[in-house]
Amino acid sequence: MQSTGTGAFGLLLALGLLGSTASHAADAGKAADTFVEECGDCHSLTPGKNKKGPSLRGVVGRSAGTVADYAGYSDAMKQAGFVWTVEKLDLYIAQPRKAVPGGRMKYDGLPDAQARANLIAYLSTMK
């Protein structure tokens, strides 16, 4: 009985882990799609590849307005003086104009909090 019980627990754990892994993979997939849909026209994830906006590779933990070879920053972004933390990114992606008044990014914002969280988690993996 004990053996059967342990086996059942192990199976449940394994299924749970598999489910969790699958869920994370699904979230990552959704986040990658969100990046393409919401950000990809203007931003690249390739290091050093700047488009209308700077590369977002390594954005989490980076000081705002400091991508060396990107020349399109607004004065507001150059002088923002903060670091792109998860919380700052969340605020900025939700309401760019409110987070950085005077910024150049023409984006209305992503209102879905879960989608923002997934997106920022995805960006966090792009070191």
Binding site for another protein (CB under 8 A): 32-33, 36-38, 40-42, 44, 46, 49-52, 70-73, 106, 108
Residue 8 burial by Cβ neighbours in a 10 Å radius (0-12, 13-18, 19+): exposed
Minimum gap (Å) between residue 100 Cβ and another protein: 15
Distance (Å, whole) CA 22 – CA 20: 5
Minimum gap (Å) between residue 52 Cβ and another protein: 6
Minimum gap (Å) between residue 71 Cβ and another protein: 3
Q: b or e along 59-78 (b: 16 or more beta carbons within 10 Å of the residue's beta carbon)?
A: bbeeebbebeeeeebeeebe
Q: Is the Cβ of residue 50 or residue 118 nearer to another protein in the bound state?
A: 50
Minimum gap (Å) between residue 70 Cβ and another protein: 7
Q: Phi-psi region for residue 106, left (φ > 0), alpha (ψ -120 to 50) or beta?
A: beta
Q: Is the Cβ of residue 54 or residue 89 nearer to another protein in the bound state?
A: 54
Q: Is the Cβ of residue 33 or residue 90 nearer to another protein in the bound state?
A: 33
Q: Is the Cβ of residue 51 or residue 62 nearer to another protein in the bound state?
A: 51
Two tokens at 83? Answer: 């670091």
